[in-house]
Amino acid sequence: MSIEQNTHIGHRQRMRERLMSDPLLTGFSEHEILEMLLFYCIPRTNTNHTAHSLIYHFGSLEAVLTASADEIAKSGIVSSSTALSLSFFGSLCGHMRRDMVRKRVEINSLQDIKDYIRTLFYGEKREVFMAIGVNSRKEMVCNKVIAVGNDSMLFYDPESLFRTVIGLGFKDIILAHNHPFTSSRPSEEDIDSTRRLLLRLRDLDITVLDHLIAGESEVFSFREHGLMFDLF
């Protein structure tokens, strides 16, 4: 083993000892947190410089972990395998955050629902359309992606979307999608497609409680603005 390799191993051990004494990471900088994540992607290599380079390129630890694997790989800083691992870490954090919020959400509180929707789409750079099942106790218990697009529009087949919503098996649902880089205000297409879906679901005794849109800085509620009633 070379002196350099031994130094790296010693550094990693010291970082792990720091983590054991500071599990909340209060004394860690962003690049040090990313450096430790990279320990599990790049064995026996100094990951400090790589962490600095990634944060410099993307702007922050959050930006690194919410970037897609392709975006990370295209930076040329890490391999495609490491890029996929970092993307997975980011997706895992998002999954855990969404699950924690769902367990606390109160369906009778619009603000709680908005907070949940904001968290649900946090870091998502594509337009994504989701249906959320609401059980008899008025708890949000099931999220289902029903359409995915690019950064400015959704791609979906209306019939497939309709079948997916029915397949959730809930009598009450909430619809939600995001506008990654624009206002949360609904477009005419948003309003028209929601109207068509509501009319078809009503015939099957499925109630859409609300349709929410997460924009850059706020969440728009169809129900709050009276649109759920205006659609019929």
- Please tell me whether residues 128 and 211 are part of one structural domain: yes
The residues near 186 (Cβ < 8 Å, ≥ 6 apart) are 194, 211, 213, 220, 222, 227
Q: Which of 35-39, 115-119, 221-225, 228-232 has the lowest mean pLDDT?
A: 228-232
- Please tell me whether residues 159 and 138 are part of one structural domain: yes
- Please tell me whether residues 66 and 178 are part of one structural domain: no
Mark which of 68, 95, 122 sits at the end of a domain: 95
- In whole numbers, what is the pLDDT of the chain averaged over residues? 85
Alpha carbons within 13 A on the beta-carbon side of 173: 28
Cβ pair 161, 146 in contact under 8 A:
yes
- Please tell me whether residues 43 and 130 are part of one structural domain: no
pLDDT at 92: 84
CA 85, 87, 88, 90 torsion: positive or negative?
positive
Which tokens sit at 129?
């359309």
pLDDT at 44: 77
Instruction: For residues 10-33, give the mean pLDDT.
Output: 87
CATH number for the domain harbouring residue 167: 3.40.140.10
The answer to whether position 125 is within a domain reads yes
The answer to whether position 43 is within a domain reads yes
- Please tell me whether residues 62 and 169 are part of one structural domain: no
- Please tell me whether residues 121 and 65 are part of one structural domain: no
The answer to whether position 72 is within a domain reads yes
Instruction: For residues 190-217, give the mean pLDDT.
Output: 90
The overall longest dimension of the chain from CA atoms, in Å, is: 74
- Please tell me whether residues 89 and 112 are part of one structural domain: no
pLDDT band per the 50, 70, 90 thresholds, residue 4: very low
- Please tell me whether residues 118 and 224 are part of one structural domain: yes
- Please tell me whether residues 110 and 205 are part of one structural domain: yes
* DSSP letter, residue 180: T
The answer to whether position 100 is within a domain reads no
The answer to whether position 35 is within a domain reads yes
The answer to whether position 101 is within a domain reads no
Mark which of 46, 70, 95 sits at the end of a domain: 95
pLDDT at 86: 93
- Please tell me whether residues 77 and 111 are part of one structural domain: no
Taking the C-alpha atoms of residue 82 and residue 50, their distance in angstroms, rounded to an integer, is 11
pLDDT band per the 50, 70, 90 thresholds, residue 95: confident
Q: How many CB atoms lie within 10 A of CB 103?
A: 10
pLDDT at 11: 85
215 has pLDDT over 90: yes
* DSSP letter, residue 187: P
The residues near 83 (Cβ < 8 Å, ≥ 6 apart) are 69, 70, 72, 73
Instruction: For residues 103-128, give the mean pLDDT.
Output: 81
Instruction: For residues 46-75, give the mean pLDDT.
Output: 91
pLDDT at 1: 44
Q: Give the model confidence (pLDDT) of 100-113 as tens digits.
A: 555 555 677 888 89
Q: Which of 87, 96, 82 is nearest to 40 (CA)?
A: 82
pLDDT at 3: 44
Instruction: For residues 80-95, give the mean pLDDT.
Output: 88
Taking the C-alpha atoms of residue 31 and residue 56, their distance in angstroms, rounded to an integer, is 9
- Please tell me whether residues 116 and 221 are part of one structural domain: yes
Domain hosting residue 153, numbered range: 106-230
Instruction: For residues 42-51, give the mean pLDDT.
Output: 88
pTM score, whole prediction = 0.63
What is the number of domains present in the chain? 2
Cβ pair 119, 62 in contact under 8 A:
no
- Please tell me whether residues 116 and 188 are part of one structural domain: yes
Mark which of 76, 95, 114 sits at the end of a domain: 95
